[in-house]
Amino acid sequence: MSTTPILDTGPEGPVRLPDCRRVAEEIADEDLISLLPRQDLVRALAEKGLSGAQELLRTQADSSEDLARRIAALRERFRRQASRQVSHIADGYRRREEDLATFRTRQRDLLRSEIERLRASLGRIGQLSAPALAADPSLLEAVQQALLLPSETLREAFRPPRTTLWDRIRAFFRRLLAAIRRLLGRRDRAGPAPRRSAAEGRPLTLGVLSDMGRTLSPDTAAELFSSLTPAQMAALQEASRERLQGTSKSLSEKERDVEADFQRRQRALRQEREAAEERARQTLERESREAVSQKLTSELRERGYVQPRGSELAVTYSLVEKFARLVLEEEARALPEGLRLSLRGAASTGLYEKTRLREPDEVARLDIPSSLLASRLRGSRHILEEASYVFREVRSESLHAVLLLDVSGSMAEDEKLSAAKKALLALYTAIRRRYPDAVVDIATFDNEVRVRDLVELWEASPGAFTNTGAALQVAFDLLRSSRASRKELYLVTDGLPECYTDSQGVVRSGNLAKAMESALRSAQELRTVSPLETTLVLLKSQNPAYETAAREIAQVLHGTVVITDPGRLAFQLLLRFTGSSVVEKRPPAETASPPAGGIPSWAPGPARNARERRRERRARGRATPG
């Protein structure tokens, strides 16, 4: 029994409504990403791209029944679409075959009808007369062709004489006189005989008609037939019969040609249909196999995780931001509880003033004694809103941070570059979380310095040499005009300066002394930016000269050197940002190469005040854990 509802519409009869249960099946939830762990998906996309997301999908499908069921349903739907597509192609070619057969039938019927009409005309050749020509267009056309076109029976042996205007006038009057006699019902048999040709003895009328190219009308035919001899009449009948038979034969040949053309086109159409169906099956089978991948890619694009870039798909800024937050959460777990809490909101300056209440949210900072006293002075036993006092922060601290990352060729070793990029992503997120209005500039440097956004930072690849001087110069250009109350510089590298940019803007390499001199000159210029806190992070190396160079640059900047492994880089950066700085113990004096003046290269520069001198003394006696 059908469950489809029926709507009674009156005299026109019932109307059966569509079954909506199929619609519910078609709009079933087939989303794949919603069943994937969000953090795992973000990590897989950021680290491995689209192939990582596909690998995660395959892994999760093995352990999730819901995901496996959706993948199976998706593939089955693609198979149904493939079968419908192939059927649609077959229906299209079937309609074309039907149209071709209909055209063949119509052409064949027209040709056969014309052949039958010509055969009937052949039967009337023996009674050739003017009324017969008027009743049978085919017979009239055959006689006209026999008279006006060259032929062996009427035209080869007879060439009509050249006619003049006087001959035409005389012929006109003869035709006029013959017409008058027909009207009067009598005929002048004793009249002058028409001129004859010397060759065949045929009347001049035939020559006149052929030469003038006139069409044959019933009146002209009657005049012509009356002037023909029995032999000429027999010749005309024979010629007309030949033309009718020739026309009939050509129509029969055309009918055979139509049938042959139909067979050829039908075979070609069938071959084309088979090839199209095979191509459609192969294409849709391939798409069916790739259905899951296409669905995943479509969902990733809809959610803004990937976007086209040229001929490929690349991660978006939004995805890199999510990945940066994920890295920060993972790295922050190693921080002490107090430091983790300090990363959750905007930092406070700690400077407050006592002033009148302005907004209800300020009640949490209410100065109860002062508010109660002011209310009592107004004669109230309760605290009045208009007499309340709160502690309001005088100003909010602003921050401008510059993150410099060394992307020279040596950073590709031991996954140093990947760890450094993750660490800077975590630091960037920590800065923006604590200071939502902070300005954070990111730059990478090898031979040249490039200011980048998060996506460009994450996609940065190793380059050539290390141009530390140019990087510090870019940091100076970014910070010198900043109005932030707090300015910070973080530089991550794994070696010493290897190249420099000369006064003409050309990058020079191969002279480590000049490269170091350029870096120190840029550091001295950068130190004029105030206030500035500098952290130079050196990834551990077996070469003591790298640590010596890092400390020398940090001394000029009055900054801090942190020496650590790539795996601890993010942790150390977050420690420095939250204010819990611990510095590494300096190397022995004999490992440092003193400058020409005899002063150790790691010796501190002249401190401007007692606070800086105390900080330098503490820095020389404390160590940073790796």
Note the pLDDT tens digit of each residue in 526-556: 999 988 999 999 998 778 889 999 999 999 9
- The stretch 557-565 carries a mean pLDDT of 91
Task: Region of 572 please: left (phi>0), alpha (psi -120 to 50) or beta.
Answer: alpha
The sign of the CA dihedral 65, 71, 74, 75 is negative
3-state helix, strand, coil in the chain (%, to 5): 60, 10, 30
* Token reading at 510: 């191969």
> Would you place residue 382 in the very low, low, confident or very high pLDDT band (cuts 50, 70, 90)?
confident
The sign of the CA dihedral 317, 318, 321, 327 is negative
Higher pLDDT, 5 or 497: 497
Domains of the chain: 125-241 (no CATH), 349-396 (no CATH), 399-621 (3.40.50.410)
Does position 517 have pLDDT exceeding 60, yes or no? yes
> Would you place residue 310 in the very low, low, confident or very high pLDDT band (cuts 50, 70, 90)?
confident
Q: What is the pLDDT of residues 243-277, one digit of tens each?
A: 788 888 888 888 888 888 888 888 888 888 888 88
Query: Which of 390-404, 450-464, 503-517, 586-600 shows the lowest per-residue confidence on average (mean pLDDT)?
Result: 586-600
Does position 151 have pLDDT exceeding 80, yes or no? no
pLDDT for the residue 592 = 40
pLDDT for the residue 40 = 92
As a whole number of angstroms, the distance between CA 518 and CA 505 comes to 13
Whether residue 576 contacts residue 624, with contact meaning beta carbons closer than 8 Å, is answered with no
* Token reading at 29: 């939830």
Does position 149 have pLDDT exceeding 80, yes or no? no
Helix (H) or strand (E) holding 48: helix 38-48
> Would you place residue 30 in the very low, low, confident or very high pLDDT band (cuts 50, 70, 90)?
confident
- The stretch 167-186 carries a mean pLDDT of 79
pTM above 0.85, yes or no: no
Query: Which of 194-198, 444-448, 455-459, 542-546 shows the lowest per-residue confidence on average (mean pLDDT)?
Result: 194-198
- The stretch 160-173 carries a mean pLDDT of 73
pLDDT for the residue 313 = 87
Higher pLDDT, 52 or 341: 52
Does position 581 have pLDDT exceeding 50, yes or no? no
Whether residue 425 contacts residue 457, with contact meaning beta carbons closer than 8 Å, is answered with yes
> Would you place residue 584 in the very low, low, confident or very high pLDDT band (cuts 50, 70, 90)?
very low
β-pair partners for 493: 538
As a whole number of angstroms, the distance between CA 292 and CA 289 comes to 7
Whether residue 465 contacts residue 408, with contact meaning beta carbons closer than 8 Å, is answered with yes
Q: What is the pLDDT of residues 109-131, one digit of tens each?
A: 888 888 887 777 777 777 777 67
- Averaged pLDDT of the chain: 77
Say whether 606 sits in a helix, a strand or coil: coil
Long-range pairs for 138-146 at CB < 8 Å and ≥24 separation? 138/244, 138/247, 139/240, 139/244, 140/216, 140/221, 142/240, 142/241, 142/243, 142/244, 142/247, 143/216, 143/221, 143/236, 143/240, 144/215, 144/216, 145/240, 145/243, 146/236, 146/239, 146/240, 146/242, 146/243
- The stretch 265-292 carries a mean pLDDT of 81
Does position 64 have pLDDT exceeding 80, yes or no? yes
pLDDT for the residue 361 = 66
> Would you place residue 312 in the very low, low, confident or very high pLDDT band (cuts 50, 70, 90)?
confident
Cis ω on the peptide bond leading into residue 544 (within 30° of 0)?
Answer: no
* Token reading at 132: 């017969």
As a whole number of angstroms, the distance between CA 349 and CA 398 comes to 10
* pLDDT cut 70: percent of the chain above it: 75
pLDDT for the residue 138 = 75
- The stretch 497-523 carries a mean pLDDT of 91
The string of DSSP codes covering 196-212 is B-TTT--BHHHHHHHHH
Does position 582 have pLDDT exceeding 90, yes or no? no
Higher pLDDT, 150 or 427: 427
- The stretch 583-608 carries a mean pLDDT of 41
The total of other beta-carbon atoms located within 10 Å of residue 505's CB is 7
As a whole number of angstroms, the distance between CA 476 and CA 470 comes to 10
- The stretch 284-306 carries a mean pLDDT of 83
Q: What is the 3-state secondary structure (H, E, C) of 463-512?
A: CCCCCHHHHHHHHHHHHCCCCCCEEEEEEEECCCCCEEECCCCCEEECCH
Does position 441 have pLDDT exceeding 90, yes or no? yes
Amino acid at 190: A
As a whole number of angstroms, the distance between CA 401 and CA 493 comes to 17
* Token reading at 542: 């077996």
* Token reading at 431: 């800065």
As a whole number of angstroms, the distance between CA 197 and CA 207 comes to 9
